[in-house]
C-alpha cells in the first residue's frame, strides 16, 4: 500500500532530494514550500477525502515556519498525524519547542537517505 508524505521545505533542492529518496522507496509525495502552502495542500487533500501518512518539515521557512505549522496541524483533526522535522537546527531549545508542539522525530541536514527512510518507516508503518 502506497503511503502519502507531505514534504515542507523552502529549498527546492532539498524538496527534490527528499522527494527523490522517498519516491524511490515507494512513497507518494506532495511538496510545499512553507507552512502556509502546506496547510493549503492539507485542506485540498481533506476536500478530496485524503490525508497524508506523514509530514516532513523544515523549521526555518518564510511565510510560516515549521513550529507554527506543527502547532496548527495539531489543532486539527490531523492532531495524531506523525510529523518529522528535517532541519539544520540543532539547538536543544529549538528541539524542545518541536517536542512541545508535537513532533514525532528530529533529523538533521544534510540527511543520509537510509536514516531518513528508517525514521519514515518507523513512524509511518507503526500506525
pLDDT > 80? residue 126 = no
From the list 57, 112, 67, the residue with the least C-alpha distance to 87 is 57
Domain 4-124 falls under CATH 3.40.50.2300: yes
**pLDDT tens, residue by residue, 66-116:** 999 999 999 999 999 999 999 999 999 999 999 999 999 999 999 999 999
pTM: 0.95
Distance CA 7, CA 56 (A): 5
For the chain, the structural domain boundaries read 4-124
Distance CA 39, CA 100 (A): 20
**pLDDT tens, residue by residue, 12-70:** 999 999 999 999 999 999 999 999 999 999 999 999 999 999 999 999 999 999 999 99
pLDDT reported for residue 127: 52
Amino acid at each position: 500500500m502506497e503511503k502519502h508524505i507531505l514534504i515542507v521545505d523552502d529549498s527546492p533542492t532539498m524538496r527534490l532530494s527528499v522527494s527523490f529518496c522517498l519516491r524511490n522507496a515507494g512513497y507518494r509525495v506532495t511538496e510545499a514550500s512553507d507552512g502556509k502552502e502546506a496547510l493549503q495542500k492539507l485542506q485540498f487533500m481533506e476536500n478530496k477525502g485524503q490525508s497524508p501518512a506523514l509530514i516532513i518539515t523544515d523549521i526555518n521557512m518564510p511565510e510560516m515556519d515549521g513550529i507554527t505549522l506543527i502547532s496548527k496541524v495539531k489543532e486539527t483533526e490531523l492532531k495524531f498525524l506523525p510529523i518529522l522535522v528535517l532541519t539544520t537546527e540543532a539547538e536543544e531549545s529549538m528541539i524542545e519547542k518541536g517536542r512541545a508542539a508535537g513532533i514525532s522525530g528530529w533529523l538533521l541536514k544534510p540527511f543520509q537517505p537510509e536514516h531518513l527512510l528508517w525514521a519514515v518507516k518507523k513512524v509511518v508503518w507503526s500506525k
